């Protein structure tokens, strides 16, 4: 019996020793948190500036816990940042899986050729108004419909004007006189007829108070304001003639392009109505008004019109060749991230899985490339595929906060939606 008690006591003692060893082993194998390990390696506790939610990095808290969204708050240490501020770091294998492609930023002059729509119009400098210089009656109309083509010297209308008849009779009566006084009177009568708008041909054809008005130039009667038998007053417009030897082309320039077009810029004009024909001219002026609906500015172009080939109202394609400027950094159009009212930006690849969003100021675009006036100097590599995923990560990690406000950004620790990213390297 005594032997049994001794055996039971020995077994109980062994069980107690095993339990104590197990508990001690677990306690010895437990490691302190990562933050404590960093503090121990540095020899002093790390100073926490603030706590933040990785989903809302611009919202700071002065104590740990959870954010209003229920996310655990992450500390921002004073010794973080340095040269890595604003940088998003992604594992190179992940970069390859995302299909991220980059292209170098080069300095060159963009192709300065613009194609814009235009409309042919009358050259108003070639417009002439035919009017009655005195009270008269339209005895006959030789031009009875608008848009009738006329030649210089062609009869337009016959007016019955008694006042003109007396002036012409006086002028003819003094035709054969030789005295100086009579010649002075004849010159005065001729000047009076000239003021009345009568040419030598009008005077020669006048009879019984009827005066025939002739076309002063080749052109088209664009407006006919009287009818045969109508009584007209002094100064009343009878018709308007427009020449077609030259025409105006009004080209609609996008507001962003209007700044590079100047007076004298060479242009070529083509129209589907005349395949194979090319008309060449230059910009005369930019009209000082921008259309509020289309946001375009009109450029007036003067074109020679041989054979009256171009008719007002035609639609044409206008090619402009603005003067080339100095070389500038250019990036593919797809590399630019436009975010509405925010400053446009690009993602610069710094190598070894490091990417940095850079705010840029853009110039003109042509041939699939856009000038960068501020932000890049050339030689950088910009992301042209997958940049929106990296930009999203930069937004979540707070890198864009530094880009917009200049404040230090927290380390990138949140993953992009639907993408598994590695933890940032220390």
Each residue of 146-159: pLDDT tens digit? 999 999 989 999 88
**Helix segments in 30-141, DSSP class H:** 34-42, 92-98
Looking at the domain 85-108+327-405, which fold is it? 2.40.420
Sign of CA dihedral 58, 63, 68, 71: positive
Beta carbons of 230 and 158 less than 8 angstroms apart: no
Looking at the domain 128-241, which fold is it? OB fold (Dihydrolipoamide Acetyltransferase, E2P) (2.40.50)
Edge-to-edge strand ranges of the sheet holding 369-374: 106-108, 328-332, 369-374, 361-366
- Closest among 279, 274, 278, 296 to 287, alpha carbons compared: 296
In the chain, what percentage of residues exceed pLDDT 90? 27
Distance CA 23, CA 117 (A): 86
pLDDT of residue 411: 37
pTM for this structure?
0.54
pLDDT of residue 230: 93
Distance CA 239, CA 227 (A): 10
DSSP type of residue 234: T
How does 295-320 read in b/e, with b if 16+ C-beta sit within 10 Å?
ebbbbbbbbebeeeebebebebebbb
Residue 177 has pLDDT above 60, yes or no: yes
Q: Stretch 388-413: mean pLDDT, rounded?
A: 53
Token readout for 199 is: 């040419």
Distance CA 102, CA 88 (A): 16
Angle at CA of residue 339, ends 374 and 398, nearest 5°: 85
More confident residue, 140 or 73: 140
The fourth-level CATH superfamily of domain 114-123+244-320 is: Efflux pump adaptor protein, beta barrel domain (2.40.30.170)
Model confidence at 421, pLDDT cuts 50, 70, 90, reads very low
pLDDT of residue 354: 84
Beta carbons of 126 and 379 less than 8 angstroms apart: no
Tell me the three state secondary structure of residue 265. coil
Angle at CA of residue 92, ends 87 and 94, nearest 5°: 100
Each residue of 22-43: pLDDT tens digit? 444 434 333 333 433 344 344 5
Q: How far is CA 186 from CA 166, 177, 246, 374, 380, in A?
A: 13, 9, 40, 76, 86
Tell me the three state secondary structure of residue 17. helix
- Closest among 207, 221, 210, 135 to 172, alpha carbons compared: 207
Residue 407 has pLDDT above 50, yes or no: no
């Amino acid at each position: 019996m005594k032997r049994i008690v001794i055996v039971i006591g020995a077994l109980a003692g062994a069980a107690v020793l095993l339990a104590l060893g197990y508990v001690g082993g677990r306690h010895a194998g437990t490691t302190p948190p990562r933050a404590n390990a960093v503090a121990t390696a540095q020899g002093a506790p790390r100073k926490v500036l603030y706590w933040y939610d990785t989903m809302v990095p611009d919202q700071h808290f002065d104590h740990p816990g959870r954010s209003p969204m229920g996310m655990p708050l992450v500390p921002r240490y004073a010794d973080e940042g340095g040269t890595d501020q604003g940088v998003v770091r992604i594992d190179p294998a992940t970069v390859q899986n995302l299909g991220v492609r980059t292209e170098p930023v080069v300095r060159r002059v963009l192709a300065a050729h613009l194609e814009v729509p235009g409309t042919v119009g009358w050259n108003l400098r070639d417009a002439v108004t035919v009017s009655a210089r005195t009270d008269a009656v339209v005895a006959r109309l030789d031009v009875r419909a608008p848009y009738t083509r006329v030649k210089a010297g062609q009869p337009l209308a016959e007016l019955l004007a008694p006042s003109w008849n007396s002036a012409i009779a006086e002028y003819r009566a003094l035709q054969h006189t030789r005295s100086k006084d009579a010649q002075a009177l004849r010159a005065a009568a001729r000047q009076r007829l000239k003021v009345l708008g009568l040419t030598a041909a009008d005077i020669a054809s006048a009879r019984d108070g009827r005066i025939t008005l002739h076309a002063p130039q080749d052109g088209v009667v664009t407006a006919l304001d009287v009818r045969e038998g109508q009584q007209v007053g002094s100064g009343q417009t009878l018709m308007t003639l427009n020449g077609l030897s030259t025409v105006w082309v009004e080209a609609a320039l996008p507001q962003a392009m209007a700044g590079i077009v100047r007076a004298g810029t060479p242009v070529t004009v083509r129209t589907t109505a005349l395949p194979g024909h090319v008309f060449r001219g230059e910009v005369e002026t930019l009209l000082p008004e921008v259309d509020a609906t289309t946001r375009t500015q009109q450029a007036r172009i003067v074109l020679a019109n041989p054979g009256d080939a171009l008719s007002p109202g035609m639609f044409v394609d206008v090619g402009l060749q603005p003067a080339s400027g100095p070389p500038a950094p250019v990036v593919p159009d797809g590399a630019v991230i436009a975010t509405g009212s925010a400053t446009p930006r690009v993602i610069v690849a710094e190598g070894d899985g490091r990417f940095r969003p850079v705010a840029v100021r853009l110039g003109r675009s042509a041939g699939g490339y856009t000038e960068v006036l501020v932000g890049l100097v050339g030689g950088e590599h910009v992301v042209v595929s997958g940049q929106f995923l990296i930009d999203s990560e930069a937004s979540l990690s707070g890198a864009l906060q530094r880009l917009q406000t200049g404040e230090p950004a927290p380390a990138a620790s949140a993953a992009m939606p639907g993408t598994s990213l590695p933890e940032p390297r220390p």
